[in-house]
């Protein structure tokens, strides 16, 4: 890594198979007439690219298969400026795949076959050559590598961001590591039992003793810290595709924190990045 702010991302790497349709199908329904695209995805990979675009030197810990999709995914990440030296290539295992439908209004639905992502182990999580200024992990991995990422951040004395997506219970050991939890509104409600974002943020803060940032789509993001709560508004934009907006937020947030920004200023940078991301198609959106 260089003298840039250093971000270590521990997360998933997928290939996205995307159908752009007039609307999202209901249960058991087929919506025909769509347009197909294939591109890079996975929350970890998306977040790593977003952090690199925000000016950080980024290393990614993850896993892909030894198939053509894995080779393609790694090549795309290298081109985006992400260090993939710590990404494992696993023989006989499929690279993760996400099946995505994007509606005409930009809304989406996603199903994921995790593949190699669920083979990543705690022992695979190691620090890059330069000490990270921020560690970012997400829940498309099993608990063990996420916890290992948290311990690495603790030992490095740097912020830990955890994007609990898809939502599942927060392990007590993870909460004790004081992560900055960054869910969307739905995930915050699932994790806290509170529908109101401010109440949800308060309950999550009570568990972790750390700040919380809840992404709210077109409204921006709600930051809850020792100074109270702050709504960071999003600028009005023409939405094309919301896939990956939360990943753009997390990656930009990590880059800003690694560079020494305080949380509220970092959240403003992150909202701006997410807003740009939804103006173009694809999980990795606009830079």
What is the set of active-site residues? 247
Query: In which element (H, E) is residue 100 found?
Result: strand 96-102
Residues contacting residue 95 through CB under 8 Å, at least 6 positions apart? 13, 14, 15, 64, 65, 67, 69, 70, 73, 115, 116
Picking from 32, 35, 81, the residue whose alpha carbon sits closest to that of residue 56 is 81
Angle at 173 between CA 90 and CA 186, to 5 degrees: 80
The distance between the two most distant Cα atoms of the chain, rounded to a whole number of Å, is 52
Angle at 190 between CA 134 and CA 262, to 5 degrees: 25
Pairing of strands 212-215, 57-65: unpaired
| 3 state DSSP class of 258 | helix
Question: How many other C-beta atoms lie within 10 A of the C-beta of residue 142?
Answer: 15
């Amino acid at each position: 890594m260089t003298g840039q702010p250093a971000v270590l991302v521990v997360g998933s790497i997928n290939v996205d198979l995307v159908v752009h349709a007039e609307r999202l199908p209901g249960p058991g329904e087929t919506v025909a007439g769509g347009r197909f695209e294939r591109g890079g995805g996975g929350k970890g990979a998306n977040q790593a690219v977003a952090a690199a675009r925000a000016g950080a030197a980024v290393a990614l810990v993850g896993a892909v298969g030894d198939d053509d999709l894995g080779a393609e995914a790694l090549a795309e990440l290298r081109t985006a400026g992400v260090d993939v030296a710590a990404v494992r290539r696993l023989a006989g295992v499929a690279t993760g795949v996400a099946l995505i439908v994007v509606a005409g209004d930009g809304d989406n639905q996603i199903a994921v076959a995790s593949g190699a992502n669920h083979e990543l182990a705690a022992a695979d999580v190691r620090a890059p050559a330069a000490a990270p200024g921020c560690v970012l992990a997400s829940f498309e991995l099993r608990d063990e590598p996420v916890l290992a990422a948290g311990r690495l951040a603790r030992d490095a004395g740097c912020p830990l961001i955890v994007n609990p997506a898809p939502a599942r219970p927060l392990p007590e050991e993870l909460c004790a590591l004081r992560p900055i939890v960054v869910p969307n509104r739905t995930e915050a409600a699932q994790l806290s039992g509170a529908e109101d974002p401010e109440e949800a943020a308060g309950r999550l803060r009570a568990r972790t003793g750390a700040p919380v940032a809840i992404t709210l789509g077109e409204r921006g993001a709600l930051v809850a810290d020792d100074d109270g709560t702050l709504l960071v508004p999003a600028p009005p934009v023409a939405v094309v595709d919301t896939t990956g907006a939360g990943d753009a937020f997390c990656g930009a947030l990590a880059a800003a924190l690694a560079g020494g920004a305080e949380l509220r200023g970092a959240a403003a940078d992150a909202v701006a990045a997410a807003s740009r991301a939804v103006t173009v198609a694809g999980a990795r959106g606009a830079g």
